[in-house]
Chain A
Amino acid sequence: MNLIGNICSSLFTDLSGDSKSREGVRGIDASIRFPLLTLIKSAFIWLIVATVFGLIASIKLHSPGFLADCSVLTYGKVDPIFWNTLVYGWLFNAGLACAVFLLSRLGGNNVGLGVFLTISVSLWNTGVLAGIIGIMWGEQLPFEWLEFPAFAAPILFLAFLGIGTWSLLTFRSRIHRSSYASQWWILASIFSFSWIYTAAQVMLVCMPAQGAIQTLVNSWYVENVFGLFIAPLAFATLYYLLPKTLGTAVVGYKYSGWAFWSWFLFASFSGIADLANGPIPAWVSSLGVIATFGLLIPTTTMSIQFLSSLFSRFSVIWDSATARYLLVGCITFLLVMYHKIFGALRGSLDTTQFSLYDSGVTQLALFGFAGMTFTGAIYFILPRLLNKELPSTSLIDLQFWSHLMGLILVSIGLISGGTQQGELMNGSTAEALVVVKTMQSSFYLTTIGMVFFLIGAVASGATYIGIMLSTRTPEETETSLIKEAPELEYSAS
């Protein structure tokens, strides 16, 4: 009974104290509290689901007999379920949670429509669930990150349209006439995803192109989901949270527009580099290589912006959990881009093509760069949304370190193991069985990494449950609990 009371007090906060300065913010928070909590809750649930499936998939690579009798858990199904829950379950929910919070706070206006947003979010998660059941049922499509059966696509599209419409309305109703970098990134990512998803569905499912073109469409889509949706949401989060947690404006903010446009231009062409030597015209992959090199411009600009900001207030990183997550996010971003840019070179591609190297880089990008940034942001959002302290710093430390440990192990396992695999597979005529033997230690390393990810995911789920169920202390009923950071966004631009 007490727990139910605690949940109610979390959802319907009634605070006392001097509320004048925070009245506006509290109104905004109240209007998005429910949809935002739905997004965060779903994100954490999907993260746990994704890591469980990732663990099963990675165990199957070194012990193929594991769960082999179960037709719904064969490797060919578990692997796509892992990727799809990771992308559409965890990262979409977490990324959109950041987007919703940022748009509302930066807009400074209460647009309402919380019910509409909640329905859209629930519809999105229903679509993801339907897709996963479809894959288990044997209805999967053979397209990377688009394995969900055709019936899930309209649900997801409709749901995304709902979330997109809400975002657009919130942006339009903003009280500041100027806009901040985070807002551009969020808007652009939402526009882009609706287009690339439509283009991919039309060319793959509704009016399928010929076989070879389908692989091209698929590669273009996968890279754009990262480059034009997930990464932009993470950038948006970094542009907003760095000033908030560090108390200083982003260093070199005036170059943000430059970084924004160059990123979109080059990222939209970059994904096709790894199709080299396949059954598509050679100029396509060459174009991809050139575009990938173009990404050096925004990568350098943003890395300098983010890392200089972080290093200018380095001491904060020891005090603020969020800043620690952002630091790891920024460093992983650099590592990911290093692998993406130099991995697209013909020389390295000749070695790594078709190996697990790509999978490693993608996991580094998803779990590391985007995952760390979004998790840090959620730990920033939750206390402000509920006006409660995070229940336990040791849980957050546990999550941080096990996630980091998982990240290191999985990327070493897949990136260095994948390179080794590629060298044997593309550079020698070694028997397939020899390749498998050589890879064995990498597979074990990946499994241990996945166990760490799972521990981290459970810890973050526990943090969420903890903050929702904890009894409100007297301090937590006061508005003075949260000290709002200065608004640096508009003074910087």
Chain B
Amino acid sequence: MNRGPFIFLGVFLIVATSWTFVLFKSNQEVGQLSAVLDEDLGKYVPGKTIGAAAHGKEVYQELGCIACHTQQVRVASGMDIARGWGERQSVARDYINDERSLIGNVRIGPDLSNVGARQLDRNWHLLHFYNPQINSQGTNMPPYPFLYEVREVVGEASANALDLPEEFSPGEGLEVIPTRKAESLASYMLSLKVDYDLKEAPKSNETMAEELAVALENAQ
């Protein structure tokens, strides 16, 4: 116990064992997955995030949305399914395309893994980012006015100007235009949906019962 090398070796062995068991072994188990062909959809799933949505994902990371929002659905505990946040358990294969994991572990706001299936209206998202009080009154989500440009209406109003309620309008003769960042973030939100099944992903009992009922009906 009196010698440095002994402590060094002991601590090294402990940290190395922890690394091997926790990280290395799990990486071997679920860290080398690839996309699988979904025959119903006729494509490989999960698909990649591309185009404006990919840029939106960067904005999501830059603004630190992960501080309040997760992107994972649990079946075995919690109320995620009952809340309509998803239909099945999130599994490792769902995240294989994420270079930077945005799974998150704090929920001050709702889970977003299926927000694109819940809220299809692009304008809803754009209004929500400008000031969440517009369509979710009482929330503590901060507004993001710096993702928008307020400018004077010259001639006819711009086509992409926000349709703001009276009390949120910046003033007479002014319009609010989403910047590219806001547009991309909205595209990213719309792209967030888990619309495919994976055979390793458990579903909730309710979903399974529903599916069974449908299958039985078809069989008859």
- B-contacting residues of A (Cβ < 8 Å)? 60-62, 64-65, 68-71, 74-77, 79-80, 135, 138-144, 147, 168, 171-172, 177-179, 184, 187-188, 191-192, 195-196, 199, 203, 208-220, 224, 228, 257, 261, 264-265, 268-269, 272, 274, 276-281, 284, 287, 349-350, 353-356, 358-359, 425-429, 432-433, 436-437, 443
In the complex, which residues of chain B have a beta carbon less than 8 angstroms from the beta carbon of A65?
142-143
Evaluate contact between B63 and A192: CB separation under 8 angstroms.
no
Evaluate contact between A196 and B64: CB separation under 8 angstroms.
no
In the complex, which residues of chain B have a beta carbon less than 8 angstroms from the beta carbon of A77?
63-64
Evaluate contact between B77 and A426: CB separation under 8 angstroms.
yes
| Extra pairs beyond A213-B26, A284-B26 (16, CB < 8 Å) | A60-B140, A64-B141, A68-B142, A75-B68, A77-B64, A140-B64, A184-B1, A184-B7, A192-B15, A195-B12, A212-B103, A277-B77, A278-B103, A279-B72, A428-B79, A443-B140
A303 to B109, CA, bound (A): 38
| CB of B106 closer than 8 Å to a CB of A | yes
A445 to B145, CA, bound (A): 28
Find A279's partner among B77, B83, B90 (CB 8 Å cutoff).
Answer: B90
Within 8 A of A (CB), among B104-127: 104-110
In the complex, which residues of chain A have a beta carbon less than 8 angstroms from the beta carbon of B139?
64, 432-433, 436
A144 to B62, CA, bound (A): 14
Main secondary structure of the interface of B (DSSP, over half): loop
A425 to B85, CA, bound (A): 12
Find B143's partner among A64, A138, A280, A443 (CB 8 Å cutoff).
Answer: A64
A281 to B4, CA, bound (A): 37
A428 to B82, CA, bound (A): 9
| Given A195-B15, A280-B92: A142 in contact with B66 (beta carbons within 8 A) | yes
Interface string of B60-89 (1 = CB under 8 A from A): 011111111010101111110011000001
A71 to B63, CA, bound (A): 8
- Could you say which interface size class chain B belongs to? 35 or more
> Can you name 12 A-B pairs with beta carbons within 8 Å?
A142-B100, A191-B15, A210-B27, A211-B103, A212-B31, A220-B18, A268-B18, A280-B26, A350-B77, A356-B106, A426-B79, A427-B79
A440 to B134, CA, bound (A): 20
Evaluate contact between B100 and A214: CB separation under 8 angstroms.
yes
Find A79's partner among B7, B27, B67 (CB 8 Å cutoff).
Answer: B67
In the complex, which residues of chain A have a beta carbon less than 8 angstroms from the beta carbon of B16?
195
In the complex, which residues of chain A have a beta carbon less than 8 angstroms from the beta carbon of B68?
75-76
Evaluate contact between B108 and A356: CB separation under 8 angstroms.
yes
Most buried by B among A64, A143, A210: A210
Find B95's partner among A141, A211, A356 (CB 8 Å cutoff).
Answer: A211
Evaluate contact between B142 and A172: CB separation under 8 angstroms.
no
Most buried by B among A179, A217, A278, A433: A278
Closest to A208 in B: B99
B127 vs chain A, min Cβ distance (A): 15
| CB of B33 closer than 8 Å to a CB of A | yes
| CB of B30 closer than 8 Å to a CB of A | yes
In the complex, which residues of chain A have a beta carbon less than 8 angstroms from the beta carbon of B91?
212, 279
| Given A184-B1, A265-B14: A74 in contact with B64 (beta carbons within 8 A) | yes
